[in-house]
Homo-oligomer: A and B are copies of this chain.
Amino acid sequence: MTVRQLSLPELVAACAESGIGKVGLWRAPVQAYGVREAAALVRAAGLAVSTLCRGGFLTAADPGERAAALADNRRAVDEAAALGTDTLVLVSGGLPAGGRDLGAARDRVADALAELAPYAETHGVRLAVEPLHPMFAADRCVVSTLAQALDLAERFPAHQVGVAVDTYHVWWDDRAPAQIARAGGRIHAFQLADWTTPLPAGVLDGRGQLGDGAIDMREWRGRVEAAGYTGPIEVELFNEELWARDGREVLRETVARYLEHAV
């Protein structure tokens, strides 16, 4: 998503050019290109898929909507398996229209995980519950903290359900360092993005390039690695300004910023 202006073939070529060995993919461009075709493209380039983003949106109270969401998440598991990644990132979903009960919505996420986790396991895929910043609690993700994500994940074996830690979503939380230690082997994905202000309207596409904002990347990387994490580190920036630029240049800049601020 950091360079969504690139087509999948362009992305694969740009990763090779920048010495990037693993890439996190999003479902929509993969589906548009064809899942098998995307898997073959990535494999032929010697790239691996770090994670697939994203399943989730499991908070519907309506039975029909809920069944549709579960079916879509099973497809997401299938897609992850086809792409050769072991990790599907889940964003829980927000409140149903007119809803005000965050606790009930979180309970429905737990129920849905109970249906999805065994299915994912049989396909060699782990679910990574991603807490999103509390500013998304109403309309996108009722799981707002790493503590809540772990409360959900710990109902299941660690090889079935873990968490995704994204600096953008957890950096403000003074409990997050202790929760990262609690997570240990349940950290199934680690993503970097910086916090810059002012936030744009809708607040979705204001994630800052590494080094441009308020987050100490090196410190968070240290915490996650101290908890035992040895997996890939993704940089996931939703940013209109970056999307308006040449994608290969953005990718090169991102690698340079990573080396400068996170290593």
Contacts and interface: CB of A to CB of B under 8 A. Distances in A.
Given A134-B134, A138-B195, A100 B200 contact: no
Given A148-B174, A174-B148, A199 B135 contact: yes
Interface string A168-183: 0001111000000000
Nearest to A98: B214
A202 B195 contact: no
A32 to B, nearest CB: 26
Contacts of A137: 171-172, 195, 214
A213 B102 CA distance: 13
Interface of A: 95, 99-103, 106, 133-135, 137-139, 144-145, 148, 171-174, 195, 197-203, 213-216
A144 B201 CA distance: 21
A150 to B, nearest CB: 13
Contact of A135 (B101, B202, B203): B203
A49 to B, nearest CB: 31
A138 B95 contact: no
Contacts of A135: 133-135, 199, 203
B197 A138 contact: yes
A165 to B, nearest CB: 16
A103 B148 contact: no
Given A198-B202, A199-B203, A202-B198, A174 B102 contact: yes
A103 B199 contact: no
A27 B199 CA distance: 26
A39 to B, nearest CB: 35
Nearest to A196: B138
B214 A95 contact: yes
A200 B199 CA distance: 9
Contact of A138 (B103, B144, B213): B213
Nearest to A134: B172
A200 B100 CA distance: 21
A100 B171 CA distance: 10
